[in-house]
Amino acid sequence: MPLPRVSLQSFLSSAKSALATSVQQTSPVTFVIGNESADLDSLCSAIVLAYLRTYASSSKHNTLYIPLSNLPHADLALRPELIPVLSRANLKPSDLLTLSDLPRLSQISSKLPAEKTRWILVDHNALQGELGRIYGTRVVGCIDHHDEEGKVPRDCGEEPRVVRKSGSCSSLVVEHCREAWDALSKKSEDKESVSWDAELAQLALAPVLIDTTNLTDKNKVTPTDIEAVEYLESKIRAEPAIKFNSEEHFKVVSAAKSDIGGLSLPDILRKDYKQWNEAGDVKLGISSVVKDMQFLIDKAGNEEKFFTALEDFSRERDLSVCSIMTTSQKDGKFQRELFVWGLGERGVEAAKKFEASSREELGLQQWSDGLLDLDGGKQWRRCWWQHRVENSRKQVAPMMRTAIQR
């Protein structure tokens, strides 16, 4: 039988204690973890799925699923959009479990042995980086809306295996857990349970609203997203003490997400950053930024200082291809820019292949008369306007990865 239900805050507190005990005693532990960009969708989806798998699962085992935010605790400060989202669920950033709660990498294999762990992925279906190297074979399930990478076992038994397109991963989590969630709610219809449902629903709803631009982005919205919003709003409305308006909440969270003026350029670049290793040792890094390229240049001081900061950022991560994808609004029109910097012979080769194969599909057009472009033996840079704005990192990253693999 599932464990007795508690509030979100109590659940996260229990998860922290359970993880600490597992590390001390090298006892079994089950994680739910989002991708390494640790955006709102990843963070919220991990908590929601872990909570519902713990308290609403039909499994006979009393498993406490531990939601792990895939970033160091200090990096939570780079995500101001978390504050209004967590507050609606009576949570604080300090309540979240992060990579800082794990043993140091030098000790992690002995204190958290791979064979003692199980990993369920949300918002990705291939565990990357050092965690992937150590625990990649221990992945037992996933819920994701990115391209299938074939890294998660086809038969996950009692755990979910969902890889399907949707505007938000959170929508898929809600869809998968909906029946179990309703059953959990019916077990106890007291005020406390209704309140807990509303908190959980608000946590799940925020990333759906953000990722689909409040269900207005026709290139991203799917029926799954629409159904998830309707379902979650019904959970919120069931709590009379909560005054909630989806449009107002979307505006508040969006404004917080765009408020990056106080961050340094390196912090902006790593705020929403993902990295892949391809073809053995070719590393690709892509930063998504909610401001335009000129904002980043001005933040650095000028073009040369921008290049210096970006080169330092790339060197620290040993990147062969460094890319920035921006989003912004001009005169009420949504626009994208795409910057790609090939470093070293293999990076330059991959960047050139990407341009040749993707220029037409992405609608790439030279940015500012080639101000940021460079043709060199071991360096190659391009910046473009990306007119096919429906293509986000979710579509562009696979194109770049394919170019590297050719």
Please state, in angstroms and rounded to a whole number, the distance separating the CA atoms of residues 197 and 185: 7
> What residue ranges do the domains of the chain occupy?
8-253, 265-405
**Integer Cα distance of 79 and 259 in angstroms:** 9
- 119 DSSP β-pair partners: 31, 139
Distance CA 102, CA 73 (A): 11
User: What is the amino acid identity at position 331?
Assistant: D
C-beta separation of 162 from 37 below 8 A: no
* Structure confidence at residue 1 (pLDDT): 62
> CA angle, 150 as apex, 148 and 151 as ends, to 5°?
120
The yes/no answer on whether domain 8-253 falls in CATH 3.40.718.10 is no
The residue whose two tokens read 């472009």 is: 373
pLDDT means per 10 residues in the chain (406 residues)?
87 97 95 96 98 84 93 95 96 98 94 97 96 96 96 95 98 97 87 94 98 95 98 96 93 95 96 92 96 97 97 97 96 95 96 97 97 93 97 96 92
Confidence at residue 24, expressed as pLDDT on a 0 to 100 scale: 94
Hey, what amino acid is at 173? V
Cα 342 to Cα 195, 276, 286, 315: the distances in Å are: 51, 15, 12, 12
* Distance, CA of 16 to CA of 122 (rounded, Å): 19
pLDDT value of position 377: 82
Q: Which residues contact 92 (CB under 8 A, 6 or more apart)?
A: 86
Angle CA(257)–CA(260)–CA(266) in degrees, nearest 5? 120
Local structure of residue 279 (DSSP, 8 states): T
State residue 190's pLDDT score: 78
What distances in angstroms separate CA 162 from CA 31, 38, 238, one per listed residue?
17, 19, 29
- Which top CATH class is 265-405? alpha beta
Helix (H), strand (E) at residue 394: helix 393-405
pTM of the model: 0.92
